[in-house]
Amino acid sequence: MLKDITIGQYLPGDSFIHKLDPRTKIIISVLFIVCLFIINKFIGYSFIVLFLIGIIIIAKIPPRFIFNGLKPVFLLIALTAVLNIFMIRGTTDTLIFKFGFLSVYTEGLKIAGFMGLRLIFLIIGTSLLTLTTSPIELTDGIEKLIRPIGKEMAHELAMMMTIALRFIPTLMDETDKIMKAQKARGADFESGNIIKKAKSLIPLLVPLFISSFRRADELAMAMEARGYRGGAGRTRMKVLKFTSRDTIAFAMFGLLVLWSAVVRFIL
């Protein structure tokens, strides 16, 4: 299941989505998240579904890859939905079910549905950003967008965020390997109460931390050996430029923003 995490992974391709300027994809991703929280009716998510399906088809990303990416967070989504169902209180007129101290109201079901869909769309949307944008492009795009805070600081922040994002799948793969190795030595990560399960993670966390520090040290040495000295005087082989493709992408996404505003303030 750890290998199913898609955030941070990149699938090379030559589709329309892959060729977009990384700044375009980052801005659209941020606005997409805003739209998710603007929409307050289920009908509003119809355009969200069409938008995500369209990107998946255009980018030629296997749908099974997207569904597998939701498996690691399925428990979080289910827990969020359950908490909203039983914690949200409505009026006596909207009571659906009551058993002892547990009560289910229409408002709770509605909010649970909204939160579940938002989490699903949020994960898919952010995964599509990393699946269609290489780490180098992400670094350059983030650096360009936050450059007003200072050239040197922007480069350092962009580099740190991109490296952290890039190593998510690497660390997950390392965790999976360590877990299998410890199970082969007789470690048990599943049986027992919560305290016992927490203690059983020590043989997993210690080698994982050691491996993470070793990888960080190797990365630092590799960057230094290649002459990396930060953003000062750095030139780029590929200079980011907005093209007609980016204009088309912004225009198409503008329809989704308009629909979100209509659903929120008019319908």
Question: How high is the pLDDT of residue 25?
Answer: 92
Residue 19 lies in a domain: yes
Output the DSSP codes for 102-149.
EEEEHHHHHHHHHHHHHHHHHHHHHHHHHHSS-HHHHHHHHHHHTGGG
pTM above the 0.95 mark? no
Q: Does residue 93 form part of some domain?
A: yes
* Burial environment of residue 73 by CB neighbours within 10 A (0 to 12, 13 to 18, 19 or more): middle
The Cα–Cα gap between 154 and 138 comes to 13
Q: Is 95 helix (H, G, I), strand (E, B) or coil?
A: strand
Q: Is residue 127 part of a domain?
A: yes
pLDDT, mean over the chain: 80
Token reading at 252: 């198409």
Domain tally for the chain?
1
- Answer yes or no: is 234 within a domain: no
Q: Return the structure tokens found at 17.
A: 């989505």
Which structural domain, as residue segments, surrounds residue 145?
2-167+239-265
pLDDT of residue 45: 86
pLDDT in tens, 149-201: 777 777 778 778 778 777 777 777 788 888 888 778 777 777 767 677 777 77
Do the domain assignments include residue 210?
A: no
Structure tokens at 145: 């967008």
Q: What is the pLDDT of residues 86-95, one digit of tens each?
A: 777 766 667 7
In a domain, 233, yes or no: no
